[in-house]
């Protein structure tokens, strides 16, 4: 009889084929299998045990911790952009606005943890991701602590690469660590260029209205409206925040690029 981890591995393998539009999707059959497995695990409050082959590579008693993937939705018309700006007060690290958006989406939950070698049992070589951190505590926080999204050239979020050697360059020789992980095959992803087109579509009417208001009479109502639009524009102008608001789990910098930006931590399977 297959163990729960074996079933999960089989289901996840079915979904590794990328969709033609650059998004990673799984088939209806494998999606139902994954949802059924996660639901059963959640309802019975079970911890997925390692298969015998995995156990031979791990200390006795090591187990996997399964986390259902939070499914994001489009929040663009629901967010209070002024309130988002208020979370900046007193915050000096990371991107607190992204953290608040991800909290609203449920993206700030922990990833699914597997034992040593568990990633390769779930996804084929070449679809793995790596993240180098300079301090061991940062790796521990990433796996089970508070959500932290850093700022970067292509937006705020969790940067990762398909190149293990590149990730090692970000980890010191004094306590650093390379985090080994993979996106779940049912993760909702896109490419950066497609995301930027969506972003431009949302920002264009905001720019147009701001231009009109600035040229018009500066009434109290016009000033209040301009401030609201400016606050919304500043939030949406960051590709990472925009992707999280639109409900994407992650995006890739290009079709064959080795860099990813991850927004949804629950969409990850991470090696302990």
Q: What is the pLDDT along the chain (272 residues), one digit of tens a residue?
A: 444 444 444 434 433 333 334 433 333 333 343 344 334 334 333 333 333 333 333 332 244 567 799 999 999 999 999 989 888 766 567 899 999 999 999 999 999 999 988 888 778 777 899 999 988 888 999 999 999 988 889 999 999 999 998 998 888 766 689 999 999 988 999 999 999 999 999 999 999 999 999 999 999 999 999 999 999 999 999 999 999 999 999 999 999 999 999 999 999 999 98
Domain range summary for the chain, segments of one domain joined by +: 72-110+118-193+239-271
Count Cβ atoms below 10 Å from residue 171 Cβ, excluding itself: 21
Contact in structure between 66 and 111 (CB atoms under 8 Å): no
- Closest by CA to 186, choosing from 59, 36, 12, 65, is 12
pLDDT at 228 (0 to 100): 95
pLDDT at 96 (0 to 100): 92
CATH no. of 72-110+118-193+239-271: 3.90.228
pLDDT at 206 (0 to 100): 97
Q: How far apart are CA 48 and CA 45, in angstroms?
A: 10
Q: How far apart are CA 271 and CA 48, in angstroms?
A: 14
120: enclosing H helix or E strand? helix 118-122
Q: Is 106 left (phi over 0), alpha (psi -120 to 50) or beta?
A: left
pLDDT at 88 (0 to 100): 73
């Amino acid at each position: 009889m297959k163990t729960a981890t074996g079933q999960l591995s089989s289901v996840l393998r079915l979904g590794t084929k990328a969709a033609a539009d650059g998004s990673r999707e799984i088939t209806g059959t494998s999606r139902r299998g994954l949802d059924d497995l996660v639901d059963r695990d959640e309802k019975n409050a079970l911890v997925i045990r390692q298969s015998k082959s995995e156990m031979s590579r791990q200390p006795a008693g090591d187990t996997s911790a399964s986390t259902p993937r939070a499914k994001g939705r489009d929040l663009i018309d629901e967010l209070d952009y002024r309130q988002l700006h208020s979370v900046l007060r007193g915050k000096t690290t990371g991107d607190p606005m992204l953290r608040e958006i991800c909290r609203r989406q449920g993206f700030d939950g922990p990833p699914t943890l597997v034992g040593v070698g568990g990633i390769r049992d779930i996804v084929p070589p070449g679809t793995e991701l790596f993240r180098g951190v300079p301090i061991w505590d940062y790796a521990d926080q990433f796996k089970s602590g508070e959500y932290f999204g850093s700022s970067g050239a292509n937006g705020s979020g969790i940067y990762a690469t398909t190149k293990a050697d590149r990730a090692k360059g970000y980890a010191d020789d004094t306590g650093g660590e390379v985090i080994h992980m993979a996106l779940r095959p049912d993760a909702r992803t896109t490419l950066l260029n497609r995301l930027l087109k969506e972003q431009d579509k949302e920002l264009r009417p905001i720019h147009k209205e701001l231009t009109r208001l600035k040229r018009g009479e500066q009434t109290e109502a016009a000033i209040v409206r301009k401030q609201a639009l400016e606050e919304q524009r500043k939030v949406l102008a960051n590709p990472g925040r925009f992707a999280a608001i639109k409900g994407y789990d992650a995006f890739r910098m290009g079709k064959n690029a080795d860099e990813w930006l991850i927004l949804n931590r629950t969409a990850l399977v991470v090696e302990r």
